């Protein structure tokens, strides 16, 4: 329940309730928020030294399986480490630099060898943190981020075709304006009254009643789905779409091929078998010569070890995303983060 809703129930305004809770009802008033800064450290940087705010750091919340992610709180970016087994937040620090995060964690030497696996997104910065701070931990790139990038690449290819259609329309309009200018000059020379004509773009209607632009716009949703998930209408639209844009069908097939590799049924599968599937997909992408899919392939190649580590136990970064969502709801329900020290005090109580 938000403070505003609770305040209405007991007949107290939310700001007043917030102040009472902060100054009198909670333990925050005992030390005036000093506990929120007890883990702050001064770190070395290229330009000298800087103070890093570490509102939450709990050694006991570090475990063998951790997740790392970033979160914007107010106007500042924070790095958050969460325990995937207990879901508790182990660390929040106000930094997005690997050297600063390394110094924060190394100031608590007991946690360094607890961690055996870290799930993360494609961030090279967090990859560096994992290598330097937790040398015994395997790094697992989150499946959600992998599939998200795959779908983005496929949608980029759809948008590429849509932009080509829009370019045709723009060029037709420019030609129309050019012809209208010529016609206007001819009328002026002949002393006739010139009446401007309205631009009409003639486009082909396809068998399902869509134009090419409408077809590409309305096909966005079906490209996210497996064929078995298509509605009857989407199946009919897909037939027309792939007939008009066969390369888009190739890209779609490649995306489904990769998603089948990432399926949960392959968790625990033999590394050589999975490596063979992935290398076959690499070859198929190379044969397609579709830039968007080649770019995604390059991303996977650069991070192949982290992607393949998913198949060991099926670990994901879901808990980090869940905690980010909870924090956002917490911000919305509790008068924002104007008083950051008190905000982190309460955050620690609820989530750490």
The confidence score (pLDDT) of residue 334 equals 67
- pTM recorded for the entire structure: 0.85
**CA angle, residues 72, 74, 78, in degrees to nearest 5:** 35
Structure tokens, 44: 């070395």
Give the distance, in angstroms, between the CA of residue 272 and the centroid of all CA atoms in the same chain: 30
The confidence score (pLDDT) of residue 336 equals 67
The confidence score (pLDDT) of residue 349 equals 85
Tokens 């997909």 belong to: 281
The confidence score (pLDDT) of residue 338 equals 75
68 within 8 A of 118, measured Cβ to Cβ: yes
- DSSP-assigned states of every residue in 28-42: HHHHTTGGGGTT-EE
Beta-ladder partners of 57: 91
Distance CA 256, CA 154 (A): 10
Domain boundaries, the chain: 1-32, 34-142+316-351, 144-313
301 within 8 A of 307, measured Cβ to Cβ: no
Instruction: Provide the 3-class DSSP secondary structure of residue 245.
Output: coil
Structure tokens, 218: 């309305």
The confidence score (pLDDT) of residue 17 equals 82
- 34-142+316-351 falls under which CATH superfamily? Ribonuclease H-like superfamily/Ribonuclease H (3.30.420.10)
Q: Is 97 left (phi over 0), alpha (psi -120 to 50) or beta?
A: beta
The confidence score (pLDDT) of residue 335 equals 62
Q: What is the pLDDT along the chain (352 residues), one digit of tens a residue?
A: 677 788 888 888 878 887 888 888 888 877 777 788 888 888 877 777 889 999 999 999 999 999 999 999 888 899 999 999 999 999 999 999 998 999 999 999 889 889 999 999 999 999 999 999 998 899 999 999 999 999 999 999 999 999 999 999 999 999 999 998 998 888 888 888 888 889 888 888 888 888 999 999 999 999 999 999 999 999 999 999 999 999 999 999 999 999 999 999 999 999 999 999 999 999 999 999 999 999 999 999 999 999 999 999 999 888 888 888 888 888 887 666 778 888 888 888 888 8
Q: Of 64, 65, 73, nearest to 95 (Cα)?
A: 73
The per-residue pLDDT of the chain, averaged, comes to 90
Contacts 24+ apart (CB under 8 A), 220-226: 220/155, 220/158, 223/151, 223/154, 223/155, 223/158, 223/252, 223/255, 224/151, 226/256, 226/259
Half-sphere exposure of residue 316, counting CA atoms within 13 Å on the CB side? 14
List the beta strands (DSSP E) in the chain: 41-45, 48-52, 56-57, 65-73, 76-83, 89-93, 117-120, 138-141
Q: Of 163, 165, 167, nearest to 175 (Cα)?
A: 167
Residues 6+ apart with CB under 8 A from 277: 261, 266
* Count, residues in the chain: 352
End-to-end CA separation in angstroms for the chain: 20
Tokens 């399902």 belong to: 208
């Amino acid at each position: 329940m938000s403070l505003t809703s609770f305040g209405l129930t007991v007949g107290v305004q939310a700001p007043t309730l917030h102040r009472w809770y902060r100054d009198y009802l909670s333990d925050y008033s005992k030390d005036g928020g000093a506990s929120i800064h007890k883990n702050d450290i001064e770190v070395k940087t290229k330009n000298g030294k800087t103070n890093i705010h570490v509102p939450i750091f709990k050694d006991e919340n570090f475990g063998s399986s951790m997740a790392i992610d970033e979160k914007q709180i107010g106007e500042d970016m924070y790095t958050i480490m969460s325990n995937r087994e207990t879901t508790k937040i182990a660390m929040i620090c106000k930094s997005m630099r690997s050297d600063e995060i390394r110094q924060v964690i190394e100031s608590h030497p007991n946690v360094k060898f607890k961690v055996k696996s870290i799930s993360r997104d494609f961030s090279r910065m967090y990859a560096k943190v994992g290598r330097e701070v937790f040398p015994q931990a395997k790094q697992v790139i989150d499946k959600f981020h992998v599939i998200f990038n795959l779908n983005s690449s496929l949608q980029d290819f759809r948008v590429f075709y849509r932009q080509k259609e829009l370019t045709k329309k723009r060029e037709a309009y420019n030609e129309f304006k050019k012809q209208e200018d010529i016609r206007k000059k001819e009328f002026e020379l002949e002393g006739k009254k010139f009446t401007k004509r309205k631009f009409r773009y003639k486009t082909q209607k396809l068998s399902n009643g869509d134009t090419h632009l409408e077809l590409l716009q309305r096909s966005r949703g079906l490209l996210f789905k497996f064929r078995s998930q298509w509605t009857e209408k989407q199946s009919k639209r897909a037939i027309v779409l792939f007939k008009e844009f066969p390369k888009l069908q190739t890209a779609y097939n490649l995306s489904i091929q990769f998603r089948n590799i990432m399926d949960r049924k392959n968790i625990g599968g033999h590394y050589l078998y999975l490596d063979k599937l992935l290398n076959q997909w690499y070859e198929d992408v190379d044969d397609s010569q579709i830039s968007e899919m080649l770019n995604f392939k390059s991303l996977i190649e650069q991070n192949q070890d982290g992607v393949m580590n998913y198949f060991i136990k099926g670990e994901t970064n879901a808990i980090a995303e869940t905690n980010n969502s909870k924090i956002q709801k917490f911000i919305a329900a509790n008068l924002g983060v104007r008083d950051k020290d008190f905000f982190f005090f309460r955050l620690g109580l609820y989530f750490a």
